[in-house]
A and B are shown apart, each in its own frame.
Chain A
Amino acid sequence: MRRTDQISSLVLLVGAGFVGIGAWRLNIWSAPGVPGPGFLPILLAIGLAVGAVGVFLEGTLSKTGDAKWFVDRASILRLVVLLCSIAALVAAIEPLGMLLAVGLFLLVFLAIYLRGHWPAILLIAGGTPICLYLIFEKWLKFSLPRGFLGF
């Protein structure tokens, strides 16, 4: 029995219910014989529910157990650090501008993971924003968000 399959299938079943209700409200038919905006979503809700039931049955009848989700605490910590740094990068884009935010993200991130290799860290953290500026602003003529420092 795989508990993860059972839990995920229940979540999917609830999701299929929500989609079904949403589709019903959208009108399944626009006119007699003419499918409306809710037509495909209602079919998808049914498909999702059928798939979810299949996953539940597969999980329940499975002879193998759950694989370990995380090997150790360090794995969880690495994921948390990664997600927090990505969130910080995105949040910093508006106040600092894209290039500075990217440079700082790389500096902090690599300082954690490439401990002590300062020449490489500074080269990547400094060189990447310059490359991005040349590719996006100069070559592709795409305007990147600027921060309070004006770049």
Chain B
Amino acid sequence: MDTFDMLLRGFSVALTPMNLLFGAIGCIFGTFIGAMPGIGAPTGIAVLLPLTFGMDPTGGIIMLAGIYYGSMYGGTITSVLVNVPGESASVMTAVEGYQMALRGRAGAALTVSAVGSFVAGTIGVVGLMLLAVPVSAFGLRFGPAEQFALFLFAFTSLVGFASESRSKTLVAIALGLLIATVGNDPLSGRSRFTFGNIDLMGGIDFVIVAVGIFGIGEVMLAFEQNFKMEFLESRLGFRDIFPTAQEWAASFWPIVRGTVLGFMVGILPAAGATVAAFMSYGVEKQLSRHPEEFGHGAIEGVAGPESANNSATAGAMVPLLTLGIPGSASTAVMLGAFMIWGLRPGPLLFSKNPDFVWGLIASMYVGNVLLLILNVGFIPTFVKMLRIPFSALMALVVVFCVMGSYAIGGSLFDIWTMVAFGVLGYLMKKLDFPQAPLVFAVVLGPLAEVTFRQALTMSQGSLSIFVDSSIASTLVVGAFLVLAAPPLWSLLRRMRASARAGRL
């Protein structure tokens, strides 16, 4: 069967009443979660993940994916109306969108971003569909050495492309991998770092780590900062939501550029939607004939980044589905969910579970249409929903975190562990350690260790196995390059700048 036939088969799965319902629930939750500052997509997915344990995996992944891309749409609402980005990927939208809202163009900003998100999301899914099969076919050539080289590339990309301190990212990855080693060793069966505690013998489930760090950690931060939102009383009637012809014309190319850029950035293991949005904003400002308007409500600064962050979500699905490598914190949590459902993401997923994969891809088309309707037609309703007191919402997040961690193994120990990780997550935020690489490492750690040790056992301890095959050696060289390139680049820039200063 070719890609088109598989997509049709996917639609027959995605359009069943139950899967449509799960997709709609995911999109609505996602929009709401994205709009709430402090609860990002990874938090929403982690907290609601336990609800999918008893569900059919296809329905479960359709709901989680709905939360993921729905949150990108939702992040715009508070960016424009409150000047507080609901999602980190909507930071640039807050800069321009809020200025537009002050001029009475909030409706236009929200509509342009919804349409841009729809176009980018839909084209991104086409890109995912076209790339998924060839990349997964390529992935079939991966043995343990190639797989480990790919993990190494993913980890070094996290460090190399880190927006925070590289040392802190390295520490976060090492801590995550250490958490993943707790419990019985998968190859020898020996207990590691369990301190004689029977509850730790089976290891620490990634859901407990993710729910604690993203859920309780964020709640603690929100309470410490006593978060309150003050909405801009902007006109949001039916007539006010339509942009003018001039605004549409100004938004067209930023949407196209944002879509392409976002998809490409989303595919990279460490980059994701936030980096894509920042890069798109920079590109639009550089290409603009009126760069002085940026910062004062330039619609290009809304259209580009919003399109980029949505196509990045589709891009991030490419390495997740085809190679089992998450491209963002949200897809890292989703990768963990795959494992809980007994599915191994990677090349074989397409041949062994076609309904699951193609049902998900088709649901993303459906979800984008649904989100466009939701985000253009029901913005005033979402704004009303956001007026729910923040403390009440946070109390419910705590309850869901507790219920979710109990649902993993029916143990109170798991809940205490989750709370402990919540405190760790809070401390990491306060000390500026990135949280996502830790969760990323907890999810990928067990697989990375097994492939590493299998490869070394095959080569009788010789590291040459990682450079023997062309795929592995390319990935290893790539891993070192992404690690070395950013500091070398900044050194080069500093040298150029000092040389220029010397000439002056």
Residues of A whose CB lies within 8 Å of any CB of B are: 4-5, 8, 12, 19, 22, 26-27, 29-30, 32-41, 44, 47-48, 50-55, 57-58, 69-71, 74-76, 78-79, 82-83, 86-87, 89-90, 93-94, 98, 102, 105-106, 109-110, 113-114, 117, 120, 124, 128, 132, 135-136, 139-145
Contact = CB atoms under 8 A, between A and B. Distances in A.
B178 interface: yes
A143 B366 CA distance: 34
Contacts of A82: 219-220, 223
B175 interface: yes
B73 to A, nearest CB: 25
Nearest to A135: B51
B425 to A, nearest CB: 13
A26 to B, nearest CB: 6
Interface of B: 51, 53-55, 165-168, 170-171, 173-175, 177-178, 181, 185, 187-188, 190, 192-193, 216, 219-220, 223-226, 389, 391-392, 395-396, 398-399, 402-403, 406-407, 410, 412, 415-416, 419, 423, 430-431, 433, 449, 452-453, 456-457, 459-462
Contacts of B51: 135, 140
B395 A51 contact: no
Contacts of A36: 188
B402 A4 contact: no
Nearest to B216: A86
A109 B223 CA distance: 12
Contacts of B433: 8
Contact of A113 (B173, B174, B389): B389
Given A54-B166, A70-B224, A132-B399, A140 B53 contact: yes
Given A41-B181, A140-B54, A54 B170 contact: yes
B466 to A, nearest CB: 13
A95 B259 CA distance: 54
A114 B390 CA distance: 10
Q: B53, B220, B224, B419: which has the most chain A beta carbons within 10 Å?
A: B224
A106 B457 contact: no
Contact of A106 (B53, B395, B459): B395
Shortest beta-carbon contacts, A-B, top 9: A54-B167, A33-B461, A140-B54, A33-B460, A113-B391, A51-B171, A51-B170, A37-B185, A47-B174
B224 A34 contact: no
B199 to A, nearest CB: 14
A102 B170 contact: no
B188 A37 contact: yes
A128 B403 CA distance: 12
Contacts of A136: 403, 407
B175 A26 contact: no
Nearest to B395: A109
12 contacts: A4-B430, A26-B185, A33-B459, A33-B462, A38-B192, A51-B168, A79-B220, A82-B223, A90-B416, A113-B395, A114-B389, A114-B392
Contacts of B187: 30, 37
B398 A86 contact: yes
B3 to A, nearest CB: 35
A105 B403 CA distance: 13
Nearest to B433: A8
Contacts of B457: 33-35
A34 B452 CA distance: 11
A30 B171 contact: no
A135 B55 CA distance: 11
B167 A55 contact: yes
B392 A74 contact: no
Q: B174, B402, B406: which has the most chain A beta carbons within 10 Å?
A: B174
B391 A4 contact: no
Given A54-B170, A55-B167, A58-B167, A44 B177 contact: yes
Given A55-B167, A110-B395, A48 B178 contact: yes
Contact of B174 (A48, A79, A86, A141): A48
Contact of A124 (B188, B396, B410): B396
B435 to A, nearest CB: 15
Contacts of A144: 406
B479 to A, nearest CB: 14
B391 A48 contact: no
Given A54-B166, A90-B419, A22 B396 contact: no
B216 A30 contact: no
Contacts of B391: 109-110, 113-114
